[in-house]
Structure 1
Amino acid sequence: MAFIALAMQTQAADEPDCTVTHPSTGKFYDLRPLTRKDNDDDWTPDTGKDQSMEFKLNICQKVQKKELDMKYPEDVASWGKRNKGTSLGKLSKTPVFRGDSLILEYTNGDECPNASNYRKSTTIQFICDTSVSGQGNPYLISSSNDCSYWFVWRTPAACSTDRPSGGNGGGIFGTIIGVVVAVYFLGGIAYNRIVHHARGLKQIPNYQIWVEGFDFIKDMAIILFAKCYRPKRSQSSYHNLPVDSEINTLIDDDYEDDEV
């Protein structure tokens, strides 16, 4: 199980942006349908009765709003405005799981009021819901000291889906095999070095077997090469050889000479 978990972590590094694989179930999640692109309107979260602040969100992409009224508008993925625009978090393209909760965090926003050593942040929790209209809409759950903001988003995009072609089970299996082989060699080398005080190539686990196997393969390769590339004698080489009648005549002549 440890090998499988490590393989899943290795594969996670190769996930497309804005996607994630559940570390326990192996199910695949893709939030890219929620990404707003050029000329699209940003997501405007519901705030309930609190209308004192305007919010704009984008998923795995910076907000598309042109006039942010900010000093540093670069890579802002969560934006808010009460009296002046403020960054509620920088762009991130890496959703994660906390337990069974699918989360996307935007951190390192503008300074928090009355706490300049803290930065504003946004946490978006996605919940699988196929009953909502379209992709649903985020809504504000709570804010803490005008510094951190928590949104919940019920959307079908948060439901598990098929992995895109190229990220199939064969890739997972290959990753597992690679991890097992790496653990075998690294663990064997460490064991031989510490326990048997081996040095050099003899640190390799089952070193003698590998040497004999290499020698066997080398010998077989030489034999096959020799059979495949053995030079053929041209038929012209046989033209000057005596035929059977000539050989018989030579034998008779030798016999007559002996009688004389």
Structure 2
Amino acid sequence: MHPRSSRRVLLALAAMVGVACAESSKTTSTTSSTTTACVATATNGAFFDLRPDTAIRAEEGVKTPKGVPTEDYVARGYDYGANFTLNVCNAVVKGVKDVIGVEKSSWKNISAYYETHGKLYSLGSQSGTLVPRGKKLVLQYSGGSPCGDSKGKVKRGGSVHDGAAYRGYRDDDDEEDEKHRSKTSKDDDQKKPGSDKEKEKEKEKEKEKDKDTSVRRKSATISFLCDRDPDVVTAISFVGTDPDECAYFFEARSQHACAGAEPHKPGSVGPGSVFAIIFFIAILVYVVGGVFYQRTVAHARGWRQLPNYSLWSGIWNFLTDIAIILTSSCARFLPSRRGYHTLSSSNGRNRNRDDENRLIDQLDEEWDD
């Protein structure tokens, strides 16, 4: 075969190696891009998994795995006047009812709340989105109970509008909007009579939208810190709240908040698999390229076409000699060999006794004579 053909084959094998590496990197990138609840990967590659800290409901007759929490976390409010109940990345295990300002259908999704004066206030619905910020992890719940009567508009300076002045400002806009709507509605009535019901429904929807966007709701932000002490149980403590009592801040210490290595996901190509693929492809390139070189350049035939034939044959001869030595040394201890030795030794002893007896008899005869 011509040397040019061997070069083409080597280039084709090198291209196969590049394609394999590209496919493996593509697979790992696609699998890492998928998000999992209560799991986060920082920009520096640090992996965080807080799923072991999520409290689950203990079912009757089912054994709960060891180390898995089955009760909600309680944070004492101290000077706030109320204690807080929370869960990590999931709704609270203990069901809640009659939550202020939250629809009944959303009660089962509440992840943080507190109770005061017989009223229960939500601090937000469940969320599994973890945000790594340096050495800390941040988990935020939003969409809780309404907080105060303010409409939530903030000036550029950062302070909340005064209630009365803000309501007056809203009333002026509402009056202008109503005048404009009344004019347009009259024109529409003249053009399209009999559509009053549809217009009323649209007005009610717009009012509900304005009402929903204007109401501020309570939220909870939990900052997780790494604690490598295995004996410390995950605990959440209350830090504080803003003056409007809308944003509540908590701090949690957990060993699961420490950065670790991302585990291998099923269906993806891990680092070990990538190394194995590259290794076997390299061996294939070595063998095929060596065979083509020995055949075309050195004009070798038979087993001598293998690359570094003398080296591999020497290693093979050495291994075969070691195997022969071991088998021969072990064969000495076999039972058949032992029986043969004892038989030969017994025959020798009998022969020596017969010779001795003959010699004694001969001496006796000479003595008698």
Question: How far did residue 74 of structure 1 move?
Answer: 3.0
- In the TM superposition, 1:1-260 aligns within 5 A as 13-24=33-44, 26-39=45-58, 40-47=70-77, 49-50=78-79, 52-70=81-99, 71-72=102-103, 73-83=107-117, 84-116=119-151, 117-131=215-229, 133-144=231-242, 145-166=244-265, 170=269
The whole-number CA distance in structure 2 between the counterparts of 1:102 and 1:19 is 10
The whole-number CA distance in structure 2 between the counterparts of 1:8 and 1:123 is 32
Question: What is the DSSP-based 3-state SS (H/G/I as helix, E as strand, rest coil) of the residue aligned with 1:142?
Answer: strand
Change in CA separation of 1:67 and 1:108 when aligned onto 2, cut-off 3 Å: closer
Q: Deviations over 1:32-57 (max 9, x none)?
A: 0110111321110133x326112110
**Contact 1:9–1:23 (CA<8 Å) still a contact in 2?**
no
**Contact 1:137–1:155 (CA<8 Å) still a contact in 2?**
yes
**Contact 2:28–2:270 (CA<8 Å) still a contact in 1?**
no
Q: Structure 1 stretches (4+) deviating beyond 4 angstroms?
A: 7-13, 167-172
The whole-number CA distance in structure 2 between the counterparts of 1:98 and 1:109 is 24
- Count of residues paired in the alignment: 167
What residue identity is the alignment partner of 1:102? L
Q: Which has the higher helix share?
A: 2
Q: Which residue of 2 aligns with 1:199?
A: none
The whole-number CA distance in structure 2 between the counterparts of 1:68 and 1:125 is 27
The whole-number CA distance in structure 2 between the counterparts of 1:130 and 1:103 is 18
Change in CA separation of 1:28 and 1:167 when aligned onto 2, cut-off 3 Å: farther
Change in CA separation of 1:160 and 1:98 when aligned onto 2, cut-off 3 Å: closer
**Contact 1:46–1:137 (CA<8 Å) still a contact in 2?**
no
Q: Which has the higher strand share?
A: 1
Change in CA separation of 1:51 and 1:146 when aligned onto 2, cut-off 3 Å: closer
Q: Sequence identity, in percent?
A: 30
The whole-number CA distance in structure 1 between the counterparts of 2:269 and 2:86 is 37
Change in CA separation of 1:74 and 1:168 when aligned onto 2, cut-off 3 Å: same
Q: Deviations over 1:126-157 (max 9, x none)?
A: 00012374433110111112211100111101
Question: What is the DSSP-based 3-state SS (H/G/I as helix, E as strand, rest coil) of the residue aligned with 1:149?
Answer: strand
Question: How far did residue 13 of structure 1 move?
Answer: 4.2
**Contact 1:34–1:59 (CA<8 Å) still a contact in 2?**
yes
Change in CA separation of 1:13 and 1:109 when aligned onto 2, cut-off 3 Å: farther
Q: Which has the higher contact order (CA 8 A, sep 6+)?
A: 2
The structure with more radius of gyration: 2
TM-score, normalization by structure 2 = 0.41
Q: Deviations over 1:87-140 (max 9, x none)?
A: 101110110123443100001111112235211100000000123744331101
**Which region of structure 1 is more displaced relative to structure 2, 36-45 or 149-158?**
36-45
The whole-number CA distance in structure 1 between the counterparts of 2:132 and 2:269 is 24
**Contact 1:112–1:120 (CA<8 Å) still a contact in 2?**
yes
Q: Which runs of 5+ in 1 are unaligned?
A: 1-6, 173-260
Change in CA separation of 1:107 and 1:169 when aligned onto 2, cut-off 3 Å: same
The whole-number CA distance in structure 2 between the counterparts of 1:41 and 1:118 is 30
**Contact 1:18–1:60 (CA<8 Å) still a contact in 2?**
yes
Change in CA separation of 1:100 and 1:142 when aligned onto 2, cut-off 3 Å: same
Q: Which residue of 1 aligns with 2:65?
A: none
CA RMSD of aligned residues (A): 3.0
TM-score, normalization by structure 1 = 0.56
